[in-house]
Structure 1
Amino acid sequence: MKNKVFIAAYSVTLLLAASFIAFYSLRPERSLNMPWEDIFRKSLIETSLGDSIKINKLNKSAFDLRLSDPTKTIILADSSLKLAIKANYISGIGEAYRVKGIGHSYLNDKNQAVKNYLEAVKYFKINKDLKQQARVYNNIGNLYRFINYNKALEYYKKSLKITKNFDDEELKAGLFFNIASILRLNSKFRQALFYYNSSNKIFIARKDTVNIIINLLNTGIVYYQIKEYKEAEFRINKAIEGSEKKKLFTTLIGCYTTLSKINYELNEYSEAKINIKEGLKYSKIVKNKNFEHDLIHAAYLLENKQKNYKKALQYLIQVHKYDSLLLSKNQTDNIDKTSSYYIQQQQIQENELIIAQQKYRETLYWWTLTIIFSLILFTALIGISTYALLQKKRKRKDIEIENRVTMLEQKTLQAMVNPHFIFNVLNTIQYFISQDDSQEANKILSIFANLMRKHLEICLKSSITLMEEMEYLSLYLSLEKIRFSEKMKYNITVSNNIDGEEIILPPMLIQPFIENAIWHGIMPKETGGLIDIDFTCQNDELRIRITDNGIGISNSIKNKTSGHISRGLELIEERVSLLNKLNIKKISINKVQTGESGTEVIITIPV
């Protein structure tokens, strides 16, 4: 108790010292007029309501034309920028630069795009407009999305982090969509569909027709890539229907390009030629050489496959005039150089703006700093000595607990895939082989192989993402569903505000409860077994709710007919108890019977 009081007193001393520094070094000086303050003052005085409405309207009109006529987007944004500068309308200036950047991006002029985006960030920082800063970082991520996936994800995550400070479903939907696109480009198709569906729910709720159409195209591309051609064609044709009504030429190019690829795979040569021709028609309208290059390359592949070598050679010559791989590298280098240059210039300007104020308070600051640091150093020496002794004692105890946790994790992982489960799966495969149902046997074998691979991956980790845990659960439940057929159904629901890649949790914390629900709740029933797994996140806590309509806890205890014993639950309870000793925020597990039958398990994990 005495040690805790001492550490608390030490922390308060440091806090008071830091506050003292902040008061004297950062307090505003009324005798100095900073240039940024002058800009704000002029903006408040000179910007009229009529000017701001006109500028905002121009910016919106420019933005709305980005898909059909990006050249006009730039022209309108330039007009808006001139008006905003004349009116000293800071927000309007930042938005005009952002929209100009979008226009240049659609015209594939990435250097001009990044210049305008960085100008926009500067003005949004002046206005302390976090929402618009997040939008610009999202736009910069879009510049990198086809040439540097890691850079794109960096900016998308930067934007997503800022969005936690405000409520903007539209931006959140866009970020879900963009992350899905990167996952698609990285061949993580199932994860991509998850994020596309998350964004589409918001688009539908907002009645955002344009983005619903674009989402149809992108999910169609995913289904094409996983060779589900019928679903892909259905979605892309729906996207074409909507795009023609809205005159979304860029989207139409993507639709016809993908349709031609599907035709190619299905040997539908005449249909492929028609779709390539349609795509080229729209690529010339939007004046985008990248689209034109991709369609010409598709035409080359088509003619080559049909052994029309003369035509194929003509297309190949056109393809080599535009080397997309080399261009992508140069674009990445140019964007990085342009970004660095403009960021450096902005930093120089900001440094010049604060020099006068720094000189004014320099003497007072250093005297105050010397006294405070002397106090902090003296206090720190005493505190560190005491803290080191306490930490040594606690570290010894923590190591013992961590070793015990590691041992329990290994035992849990061994208990998860027990010989009984493997034997049942192999029996099921053998059954379908004996029935000459090789397709179903191969399906079960594929799921089982993926489950084993995922199991081995998790064995090497002390923590995993929620996405990895859900992938494991889906594989496990898929096998159990095939084995028990109509006797068991399951649902997995994930809240929209959950990012499966961001949330970290201990491995194999959920599966034993699901296994217990199947064996002790559902198996004793004749039919109609149902398991619901619900993931929600609120107040920095992940809440996992597992419910079943089985026979219930009390009836299960009475009914000892099942020979299956879940050792995993005992191991998990012991692991959680030890983890709670190591961490300030605790994991909680509650199990109750719902009525005369059925069971509910609620696991709460701090995130």
Structure 2
Amino acid sequence: MKSIYLLTTLLFLLNLDSFSQSAQTDINRINALNESAYKARLTNPDLSYKNSNEALILSKKNNYVKGIAESYRIRGISKYYQNQSDSAIQNYLTSINYFKQLKDQAGEAKVLNNIGTLYRDVDYDKALEFYNKSLEIAEKLEITDLTTGLNLNIGVIYQKKKEFKKALISFNKSYVQFQKQKNSTGLALSLQNMSVVYKYLNQLDTAEAFAKEAIVIAKENDLKYVVAGTNLTLSYVYISKGKYDEAARSINEGVSYAKEIKDKRLEYDFLYNSYTLENYRKNYQKALGYLQQIYRQDSLVYKNIVSDRISLQQEQFNQLQKQRENELTIQKQKTNQVIFWSAVVVSGLLFVVILLLVGNVNKKAKTNKELTRLNHEISLQKENLDRINHNLEDIIDERTKDLRIKNHKLSQYSSHLSHQIRGPVSTIKGLVNLQKEDLIEKEEFVQQLDKCIVDIDNKILNINEMLHNPQLLGFKDEEDEA
């Protein structure tokens, strides 16, 4: 009997050791996948999502909670670079929930930083709120690399708020720290953002130098997102300096990188720079074509929709999270009951079984009462979700209707321009035919021709003025809409 017991124990320990080795191998694989996914965020967001999703599946299989939290975080980052804000916020909130369960403040600080970046383009104050929360934790835990990245991100917000002195202080601080850490990605991003600030300060030579240096580092490290974004700044600098051929090359290179990383927002920004370039070159027909595409995309409406949808999505997620927690409580209670009864049967202790059965009657009554309360809460939460979804649909319908009206007005304006130019051109053609038939005196012909040319010149000046004044097209500016 003792021999059988010893043999059983030995086999159990061998199996346990084999299981532990397998689990450790999976954990190493999970960490490697998440690390490669994070590195790919600026070069290949699709690959970043693929690797982090594979890490998430493996983490759930092994019940590796830290791996689950980190996988959700990096999935959110990849969705941000794919311009899918709704999916990004869902992943971030799920991630921070797991880090809170683990009481992992370092992980929580990273997610707060990521959420701040998500708000960076739509709500500067909200972004600063999340960045400062993250910075407080990072400085307390002395997480150097996160602190450095937060200085860079905070500088971006100050730059967007036109507080350029504060922005340069943050960027210079992050640049020095990235140099110490030998972080090429951080250096490229710092240089890129400093070039943007000096562009706004109209220090074009300095802006050009920083942008070129950023592009060199970015290309060496295959940072396609940085190359695209920096070319946007560089093209504007070249336009301002009158270097139109260099500007065109920067725009073409930037657009190719933006398309490669599938960044529609960057493509839109390059579209505006293309319009500015052709307008400076006095290629008004091309400029008008770019302007039509710009109004078709309507970036202001896009930003408003993203801001509204992020807020609604966050509220919706919180409601769903409560619902999941309630459902999880119910499931845990059912699971505990199954485990409890199984243990009673295995033990074979009749007296213990009787005592537990008596206690279970009282527990069942409490459980049923709790189930009734939880089901009622779930019903209320579902009603709230329906109302939120309805509000979201109304917002999208309103923005879509506004965009149709703007496109209709732009079409009417194009028809008006065509009619205005066609009149004097038709008159010139008539004068030429009269001259060919010798039906008009040469002096009168020259006089009438001069009038037509003056008329055309005035209309071209009028077109140029209207291209630079959207209100003349019938569109309201951003302050009027507010």
TM-score of the pair, normalised by structure 2: 0.63
Distance in 1 (alpha carbons) for counterparts of 2:325 and 2:293: 48
3-state SS, counterpart of residue 88 of structure 2 = helix
1:229 Cα offset (Å): 1.1
Maintained 8 Å contact 1:216/1:235: yes
Picking from 137, 145, 160, the partner of 1:185 is 160
How far does residue 164 in structure 1 lie from its aligned partner after superposition?
4.0
Residue 45 (structure 1) shift: 7.8
Q: What displacement does 1:198 show? A: 1.4
One-letter identity of the residue aligned with 2:227: L
1:63 equivalent in alignment to 2:75 = no
The question of 1:198 aligning with 2:177 is answered no
Contact 2:139–2:147 under 8 Å retained in 1:
no
> Aligned to 2:79, which of 104, 113, 118?
104
Matched, 1:330 2:291: no
**Is contact 1:260-1:272 (8 Å) kept?**
yes
TM-aligned CA distance change 1:206 to 1:334, over 3 Å = same
Equivalences for residues 342-491 of structure 1 within 5 A: 342-350=317-325
Q: CA deviation at 1:315?
A: 1.2
Q: Which runs of 5+ in 1 are unaligned?
A: 1-43, 364-607
Shift of 1:346: 2.1
Contact 1:122 1:346 in 2 (8 A): no
Q: Distance in 2 between matches of 1:330 and 1:307?
A: 35
Displacement of 1:353 in angstroms is 6.2
Counterpart contact for 1:134–1:162, Cα < 8 Å: yes
Report the equivalent of 1:208.
Answer: 183
Note the C-alpha offset of 1:47: 8.0
Residues 128 and 45 from structure 1, CA distance in 2 versus in 1: closer, same or farther, beyond 3 angstroms?
Answer: farther
Query: Cα deviation per residue 1:54-107 (whole Å; 9 max; x = unaligned)?
Result: 100001111110111001111111111110110100000111111110001001
Go from structure 1 to structure 2 and tell me whether the alpha carbon gap of 1:353 and 1:331 turns closer, same or farther (over 3 Å shift): same
Report the residue type matching 2:265 in the other structure: N
The amino acid across from 1:114 in the alignment is: I
Runs of 4 or more consecutive aligned structure 1 residues displaced over 6 Å after TM superposition: 44-47, 352-357
Question: Are 2:250 and 1:282 aligned?
Answer: no
Task: Say which of 71, 86, 90 aligns to 2:65.
Answer: 90
- Tell me which of 115, 136, 149 is aligned to 1:161: 136
Structure 2's unaligned 5+ residue stretches are: 1-18, 337-361, 367-482
Deviation at 1:189, TM superposition (A): 0.5
* 1:303 lines up with 2:278 in the alignment: yes
Structure 1 counterpart of 2:49 = 74
Question: In structure 2, what is the Cα distance between the partners aligned to 1:150 and 1:351?
Answer: 33
Distance 1:47 1:126 in 2: 25
**Bigger Cα Rg:** 2
Structure 2 SS opposite 1:92: helix
Select 1:144's aligned residue among 107, 119, 126.
119
Residue aligning to 2:205: 230
CA distance in 2, matches of 1:351, 1:195: 44
Q: Is the 8 A contact 1:46 1:87 kept in 2?
A: no
Which one of 198, 221, 241 corresponds to residue 246 of structure 1?
Answer: 221
Tell me by how many angstroms 1:162 deviates. Answer: 2.3
The one-letter amino acid of 1:207's match is K
SS for the counterpart of 2:41 is coil
Separation in 2, partners of 1:165, 1:304: 52
TM-score with structure 1 length normalisation? Answer: 0.50
Relative to its length, the structure with more strand (as a share) is 1
> Which one of 28, 34, 38 corresponds to residue 53 of structure 1?
28
Percent of residue pairs bearing the same amino acid type: 36
Question: In the alignment, does 2:110 pair up with 1:128?
Answer: no
| 1:465-519, Cα deviation, whole Å (9 max, x unpaired) | xxxxxxxxxxxxxxxxxxxxxxxxxxxxxxxxxxxxxxxxxxxxxxxxxxxxxxx
SS of the equivalent of 1:287 reads: coil
CA distance in 2, matches of 1:235, 1:164: 29
User: Partner amino acid for 1:236?
Assistant: A
Distance in structure 1 (CA, Å) of the matches to 2:264 and 2:296: 11
Question: What's the secondary structure of 1:320's corresponding residue?
Answer: helix
Residue deviations 1:144-174, cap 9 Å, x none? 1011101111111121222244120001111
Task: Give the partner amino acid of 1:314.
Answer: G
Displacement after TM superposition at 1:205 (Å): 1.3
Question: Which residue number in structure 2 is paired with residue 176 of structure 1?
Answer: 151
- Aligned mates of 2:177, 2:325 — CA distance in 1: 39
Query: How many aligned positions are there?
Result: 317
Conserved in 2, the CA contact under 8 Å of 1:46 and 1:88?
A: no
Cα distance between partner residues in 1 of 2:285 and 2:318? 51
CA contact (8 A) 1:253 1:279 kept: yes
In the alignment, the residues of structure 2 paired with residue 130 and residue 230 of structure 1 have an alpha-carbon distance, to the nearest angstrom, of 43
Residues in 2 aligned to 1:167 and 1:114: alpha-carbon distance in whole angstroms: 26
- Which residue, 217, 233, 251 being the options, matches 1:258? 233
Write the distance in 2 (CA, Å) between the matches of 1:123 and 1:182.
28
**Is 1:269 equivalent to 2:244 in the alignment?**
yes
